[in-house]
Structure 1
Amino acid sequence: MTSGSLVGRVGVVVTAIRGGERAGEVRLVVQGIPHYYLAYAAGAVAAGADVLVVNNRGARQVDVEPWPSVPPDGIARGVVEGL
């Protein structure tokens, strides 16, 4: 896997990210295989949240940002279409 291939992927937080330089853990599925990375974010991100990879630090470490997830019923609440 190249470093660029992780940027832009959406993963799930496995171990809460505490923010700053206090890492958590995320799971990214690449070609059907789950991979686990230490993850850093500007602020805290709870376990179970979806995140977007914005930078690959190398050595199985990534920077992430929270990513909105769609509820199981597929209805995005609080979103106004056409704006």
Structure 2
Amino acid sequence: MIVYVVTASNVNGIQALFYGVAVGLHFIAVSHDLWRKNPTLYNVIGRYVITIGIIIGWAMGTLVTLSSFTQSLIFAFISGGP
């Protein structure tokens, strides 16, 4: 969902760069925490699930156009809104 919001939003230029770096650091931190919790399971399954999720989010963001209402619901869910 995070990658979908990044690719489907109208963020350009330096804002997109900062947002991409922030999301990238988030994925690195989550991956590291998952690896520390259970390295064997992460190496067998976890890293592939994260990678496939990123690829699917990118594909949906570039190929699928959702309504602005649906996009706002996804953004609210990601940001922790009720």
Q: What TM-score, normalized by structure 1, do the two folds share?
A: 0.24
Q: What TM-score, normalized by structure 2, do the two folds share?
A: 0.24
Larger helix proportion of the pair? 2
